[in-house]
A and B are shown apart, each in its own frame.
Chain A
Amino acid sequence: MAISAATKAATDALAVNRAPTSVNAQEVHRWLQSFTWDFDKNRTKYPTKYKMANDTKEQFKLIAKEYARMESVKDERQFGSLQDVLTRVDAANKVHPKWNETMKVISNFLEVGEYNAIAATGMLWDSASAPEQKNGYLAQTLDEIRHTNQCGYVNYYFTKHGQDAAGHNDARRTRTIGPLWKGMKRVFSDGFISGDAVECSINLQLVGEACFTNPLIVAVTEWAAANGDEITPTVFLSIETDELRHMANGYQTIVSIANDEAASKYLNTDLNNAFWTQQKYFTPVLGMMFEYGSHFKVEPWVKTWNRWVYEDWGGIWIGRLGKYGVESPRSLRDAKVDAYWAHHDLFLLAYALWPTGFFRLTLPTAEEADWFEENYPGWHEHYGKIYEEWRARGCEDPNSGFIPLMWFIENNHPIYIDRVSQVPFCPSLCKGASTLRVHEYNGKKNTFSDDWGERMWLAEPERYECQNMFEQYAGRELSEVIAELQGVRSDGKTLIAQPHTNKDGKMWTLDDIKALDCVFSDPVDAL
């Protein structure tokens, strides 16, 4: 019987390229390369302005069998620890209550990033033409599925075994109320999957993963351990064991375009935009989570940022690429100001808007205030005094009838949302690199907080049309919005969000919020 052309081609190839007789994985990898699949003329649904080279390598020489074995060992160790020793020693109940709240946000939001990275790396698999590069992206797609499940599992584990389940268990339906959600979607979703494929790789792999996963997934484990949380290090350090391959994928994306003329035209702008996009959210949010969401401090956030972002990512990744024309991001100066101050600015606003959260926040104690002043000279004069005033007005107690948002209104400190990053800012109070600027477009006023986002918007205004929370809820009463978006505990009236973690403190209810008669308005109307 005649054999098909495909079968004959495969038979001929095997005759020339004998299958390895051993099971050494790297021999198998070398053998697979000898097939030289040609994707050079591959059509993609996700084009890029760059030409990706056809001979780009994957640095770890992965084959499916070793990949599956590695990942199953990782899962076995992780779930083994969680289900055996950590459950037996009641680890989830030994976590400091403030940190328990922090993990409601970190694990849930990281889950969204991992979920979007599945699509991002699937897109990159389709865009690349080098077989090894495709192999690296494909393994990453599988990794991201694993990570999505792992992040979901952290919240599930805290719900099942830990304290104050509300927020861990139902974040998916309540997380969209407050001001942190849409900024997270900008970095973790839009930044990873919208636009030019290589730009998405720069956002996801070269900046998001090579730079910010180190504080977000590695350094966070030190803060967790210091605050009694042994669950997060077990899971997050396992997640990070895949991230090194993702960082390598991002680097190889740059290698694949290094000799393309388009790189000299676009790469530095794309890198600067990606760096600013990612830092604009991660810098204040991570700093706030670490410093204000912990009782025991590891080190000032600005030092963590200086080590992982400036010295290591900046010097070892970006600095080394200087001779290939890659420049220091032009927005670095402003990013450094943000790393020092922006998380303090953000906590001020997050605490003022606490009823819109899905977690409990706590004002710094006197001991913590001393720590802040020691590490950020000038902190007390600018921020500490405000917290003292809020505390004196009874902001933690529902009988006070006071939420700090009222203080902003009374003192004429309007809060705006940056159109590009969706990060809130208060120009009259912030010490980070934010100043108010306004553009009108299609009859709508848009507010911005910095040069870099403003420039991105001016180039593509149609890309940043997401409604911010003030536009979305304008004219609506606060308790009504919270009830509609399921921001209550299982009794149907007590808020998930609270302005304290004191187990003896009184909890705020929908009725307490309703009594404030707080109606959303869009501050741009007054401009």
Chain B
Amino acid sequence: MSNNANSYGAGIMAKTGKEFADEYFAEENQVVHESHEVVLVLKKSDEINIIVEEILLGDRKDENPTLVVEDRAGYWWLKATGKIEIDCEDAAEVLGKDYNVYDLLVDVSSTIGRAFTLGETFTITSELMGLDRKLEDLEA
């Protein structure tokens, strides 16, 4: 469990009973607040467990210090500020077999944020793709 503000039990979630209710019903929490976080749910599998442990929490951990990964029984719950990227060419190398972005999508269970693929990279971002920035096609 991490103390990061993005962790599953951070903020109001750490409170219980009346303390939770007071914050939950507080006037300032009766409208939505813009958030620049993204959430990714990855179904556990041989490949995903290695990608999480060896890449996201391994080689690439320093690239995204806001990233939190939590074990929620059947799935990994990930939250980060800005974006999470998974390079499937890296994954193929670590897994030691052919593995493309569509193989990754077999186990991507949920996304909160704008998720897209480009080449062999899967990205989930807080950017409003198609509004703030165009979605790109693979270059010829």
Contacts and interface: CB of A to CB of B under 8 A. Distances in A.
- A and B assemble together: yes
Nearest to B111: A244
B130 interface: yes
B49 to A, nearest CB: 14
Contacts of A322: 34
Contacts of A77: 45, 106
Given A33-B137, A324-B131, A237 B18 contact: no
A336 B24 contact: yes
Interface string B92-107: 0000000011110111
A197 B12 CA distance: 38
A463 to B, nearest CB: 28
Interface residues of B, number: 56
Contact of A315 (B17, B34, B117): B34
Contacts of B100: 25
Interface stretch (A93-101, A303-311, A483-491): A303-311
B138 A74 contact: no
A251 B114 CA distance: 8
A11 B135 CA distance: 30
Nearest to B115: A244
A252 B35 CA distance: 19
Contacts of A316: 35, 37-39, 112-113, 126
B1 interface: no
Contacts of A237: 41, 43, 74-75, 109
B12 A306 contact: yes
B73 A222 contact: yes
A317 B112 contact: yes
A27 B35 contact: no
A257 to B, nearest CB: 11
A233 interface: yes
Given A60-B117, A69-B102, A233-B74, A244 B138 contact: no
Contact of A241 (B107, B116, B118): B107
Contact of B109 (A73, A240, A311, A319): A240
Nearest to A219: B72
Interface string A306-335: 110011111111111110100011001100
Interface string A372-404: 001101000000000000000000000000000
B74 A61 contact: no
Contacts of A419: none
A26 B21 contact: no
A57 B105 contact: no
B102 A70 contact: yes
Given A218-B109, A225-B73, A66 B32 contact: no
A55 B58 CA distance: 39
B65 interface: no
A70 B33 contact: no
A521 to B, nearest CB: 37
B108 A244 contact: yes
Interface in B2-34: 8, 12-13, 16-18, 20-21, 24-25, 29-34
A319 B35 contact: yes
Nearest to B38: A316
A40 B137 CA distance: 21
Contacts of B18: 377
Nearest to B140: A30
Interface string A218-235: 100110011000000110
A83 interface: no
Contact of B130 (A57, A213, A234, A310): A57
B75 A221 contact: yes
Interface in A390-446: none
A237 B73 CA distance: 11
Given A241-B106, A316-B126, 13 more contacts: A29-B138, A59-B115, A59-B135, A61-B138, A73-B106, A222-B72, A252-B130, A302-B24, A306-B13, A312-B37, A332-B30, A336-B30, A337-B25
10 contacts: A56-B130, A59-B115, A59-B117, A217-B110, A222-B74, A240-B43, A243-B110, A316-B37, A340-B24, A375-B20
Interface of A: 25-27, 29-30, 33, 56-57, 59-61, 66, 69-70, 73-74, 77, 210, 213-214, 217-218, 221-222, 225-226, 233-234, 237-238, 240-241, 243-244, 247-248, 251-252, 255, 258, 300, 302-303, 306-307, 310-322, 324, 328-329, 332-333, 336-337, 340, 374-375, 377
